[in-house]
Amino acid sequence: MAEPRDGLVVVTGGAGFIGSNIVLDLAQAGCRVVVVDHLRSGEKWRNIATAPLHDLLHPAALFPWLEAHQKSLAAIVHMGAISSTGETDIDRIVTTNIRLTLDLWQWCAAHSIRLIYASSAATYGDGSAGFHDDEDTAALARLEPLNAYGWSKHLVDRRVNDDVAAGRPVPPQWAGLKFFNVYGPNEGEKGDMRSVVSKIIPIALSGGTVTLFKSHHPDYPDGGQLRDFVYVGDCVAVVRWLLQNPEISGLFNVGTGIARSFADLAAGVFAALGRPPRIGFVDTPANLRDKYQYFTQAEIGKLRAAGFRNDFRSLENGIRDYIEQYPVGLR
């Protein structure tokens, strides 16, 4: 299985959380990587500062650049998105999450370029319809995302599925990755949308008390709400595997397949730091209760059947790996 070293790999959102980890991995493997992202005036650039890049583009320059370099392209890995589940500017979500993704989809189909794009477990809504990465049209229609972010990802998945089912032109390889609760290095630029692991680490380091949401569901204890927490390095491994196997296409869940509680997560952080746990509970905000998920767990049988054999890190091992990479001056 060869890396796509003979062509350029474009990573949109390449300075962001998941995107930067993909960029660092591919660049280290010897791929010629082109990052597309907004860097603005913050510290986001540091996420890719150590990577030997082939090129770096502002998103506004993307399509002219693609037209000029189409014969040199191997694949596009599209991670760029408005990822906030609380975003209220729906036009902004449409422009960034829907319009850009569908424009890339159509461009890749027209120019026979491979496309891997980020979908989300947010497409599953409250989970009442299950967490199966089914490409059946009726199964997709049953999903009801709880917010505009999840809706935007779901709309793209349905359009992609419709094109495939109808026999319309599609990229030679395509994959929509339904990421579950991802955590790991380079989260800082996500602000309040960073993972709970990221939020807990500095509190635990300072000797403070970590606060988790109380349960407002009779089947779950306080802190017992369950999520499929997946380490970003394992998400990167899925992307790398797809780039190594251009014959594989489809919608795929990316999670461990094992749900763990927020209490487990908090305890794992304290244990990795060698400190006694200090955990308290606060009420879930009233405006979130009707949209709050108490259980998510990726069904990963389809990914396994397609040939992905890597083990996913346990929550405890992922947290330890994350903390080992945490800035030394903050530990």
Active site residues per annotation: 149, 190
Supply φ then ψ for residue 291, to 5 degrees.
-115, 10
Query: What span, in angstroms and rounded, lies between the C-alpha atoms of 325 and 319?
Result: 10
Query: What span, in angstroms and rounded, lies between the C-alpha atoms of 32 and 40?
Result: 24
Maximal CA-CA distance, the chain? 58
CA-CA distances (angstroms) from residue 19 to 12, 78, 165, 287?
7, 8, 29, 31
What DSSP line would sit under 136-196, residue for residue?
A: -HHHHHT---SSHHHHHHHHHHHHHHHHHHHT----SSEEEEEE-EEE-SS-GGGGGGS-H
Query: What span, in angstroms and rounded, lies between the C-alpha atoms of 115 and 143?
Result: 24
Amino acid in position 144: E
Place of tokens 């990755």: 177
